[in-house]
Amino acid sequence: MDFRKLFLHSSLLVLHFAFSSSKDTITINQTIHDGDFLISRENNFALGFFSPGSSRFRYLGIWFRKVREQTVVWVANRDDPINGSSGVLSIDQYGNLVLHSYHNLKVPVWSTNVSVEATDTCVVAQLLDTGNLVLFDDRSKSTVWESFDHPTDTMLPGMKLGLDRRSGMNRFLISWRSAADPELETSHFRSTQKDHHSFVNNQNETYAAYSVSDASAILSRRFECDCLPGYEPKSPRDWHILKDASGGCVRKRLESTSLCGHGEGFVKVANVKVPDTSAAVWVSMNMSPRDCERNCRRNCSCSAYASIDIAGKETGCLTWYGKLMDTAHDREEGNDIYVRVDAVELAEIAQKWNGFLKRKDMLAILVVSVVSAWFVVILFAYLWLKKKKKKVRNKWNKRWLDTIGCAYYNETSVENQVEGSMSHPEIAFFNLSTILAATDSFSPSNKLGQGGFGMVYKGKLFNGKEVAVKRLSKDSGQGVDEFKNEVLLIAKLQH
């Protein structure tokens, strides 16, 4: 008897040393004892036994290998710790990973508990560099079980959260009870559309989203709860006074018949994270929004529907039955859902919408009136400034001509002083700016001659015609009347 025990211990010791070299796999003939480890190929993760914090209990888990402080990302027996260092991990005759304690080798502490259609020798467990512990058939290389399908409180790259429709498995995260106790806590986390999480929909998977939100309530961007259309707070006092929305929302009118064949309809709620899809049904992967609405309308238990674009290729129809859980506004990546409401709610919403349109029309009229008034004010201001600018320009022209010794007459004064100017069509009137431009501001180089009453300059108009311009000297004895007569005489003689 002692020899058999010695042989058994020797065999286990040989297996222990054979396994103690850093390997990433375990086969049917190998075991992991407390103190042994599986190390992933690139040394990223380790699998072994650990005690969190000050706990004396031992757990089988996976942690980061290259992080100085032990950071556990997965725990196998979080609800059934092992007292002391008596734990051992192996693959049983049915191809399952099993965790035993030396104190009770008949009843496993934890097991993968899957059906493996293979012989004992072809099942292998491997710790990947992603942190995923995979149990697979070594011949077909098909995965039998993986830890990524059973996450604890940590999500790693490559991990999926949500419902596997093929197996019925619902993957979600559950926090530790404390830093020293990885036992299941009441706080759950399930995938959302934010932070680069993918909206997946195929024959095996569907999207699911969970958080702390109550029935038929929607979380706003200000982290305040509102009720969905057709619903009201279950406890208005708690909701509005105590700011406690944990009671959720209930239908405004509880008559069950009011939502079935009594003029009910759907109200659009735009840009939201869709409600919990674990209680939803994918009607079709390729259905138009109109057909999706008809499908939901035919079923009196259908509380909402959504026509969701899947990867830009197809439009799927998703319907909900019963309570709408975990809905929140999401302007960036949200979808539109349509909530079933009764005829009374539809009428109230239509009335509010009509009132909004009337207010919108009145606002439009007010805006047009204000804009028109401002336009008139700006127009009058423009005309006044233009007139004032002209007066200022004439004033500065007079000062400039006084400086160069030339009598100044603005256009109005000339026309007033030349009596009967309209009766002399042979007289052409030019404004001062035209004359100054033609003579280069009475440049000495353009001077043709000088008489007793002033100087004569040559000039060229903008059309190329050459003219002679007489400038009346300020100190000349010739008056305005004499100058007028001279102008008329020149015009008649074509001098």
Convert the pLDDT of each residue in 285-334 to its tens digit: 788 889 999 999 888 889 899 988 765 567 788 898 888 887 877 777 77
Distance separating alpha carbons of residues 133 and 62, to the nearest angstrom: 9
pLDDT value at position 88?
93
pLDDT value at position 17?
41
pLDDT value at position 147?
92
Q: Residue 325: which of 217, 235, 449, 401 has the closest Cα?
A: 217
Q: 278 by DSSP, 3-state: which?
A: helix
Distance separating alpha carbons of residues 139 and 117, to the nearest angstrom: 12
What is the four-CA torsion angle of 61, 67, 71, 74, rounded to 10 degrees?
A: -40
Please count the other Cβ atoms lying within 10 Å of the Cβ belonging to residue 430: 16
pLDDT value at position 202?
53
Distance separating alpha carbons of residues 245 and 236, to the nearest angstrom: 9
Could you tell me the CA-to-CA distances from 495 to 141, 366, 468, 492 in Å, in that order? 115, 66, 9, 8
Could you tell me the CA-to-CA distances from 255 to 232, 252, 259, 301, 338 in Å, in that order? 15, 9, 8, 13, 20
Instruction: Judge contact between 147 and 74, C-beta under 8 A.
Output: yes
Instruction: Give me the residues of the chain with pLDDT under 50, please.
Output: 1, 3-21, 186-188, 191-199, 201, 206-213, 256, 403-423, 495
Distance separating alpha carbons of residues 344 and 130, to the nearest angstrom: 55
Query: CA quadruple 181, 184, 188, 189: dihedral positive or negative?
Result: positive
Tokens of residue 317, six digits = 């129809």
Distance separating alpha carbons of residues 406 and 397, to the nearest angstrom: 11
Written as one letter, the residue type at 251 is R
Q: Is 194 annotated as a binding residue?
A: no
Query: CA quadruple 475, 480, 486, 492: dihedral positive or negative?
Result: positive
Instruction: Judge contact between 65 and 45, C-beta under 8 A.
Output: yes
Instruction: Judge contact between 115 and 125, C-beta under 8 A.
Output: no
74: part of which helix (H) or strand (E)?
A: strand 72-75
Q: Is 56 left (phi over 0), alpha (psi -120 to 50) or beta?
A: alpha
Instruction: Judge contact between 255 and 291, C-beta under 8 A.
Output: no
Q: Residue 453: which of 410, 429, 485 has the closest Cα?
A: 485
58: part of which helix (H) or strand (E)?
A: strand 57-64
Distance separating alpha carbons of residues 189 and 199, to the nearest angstrom: 16
Half-sphere exposure for 316 (CA within 13 Å, toward CB): 22
Instruction: Judge contact between 26 and 43, C-beta under 8 A.
Output: no
Q: Residue 315: which of 283, 282, 287, 273 has the closest Cα?
A: 287
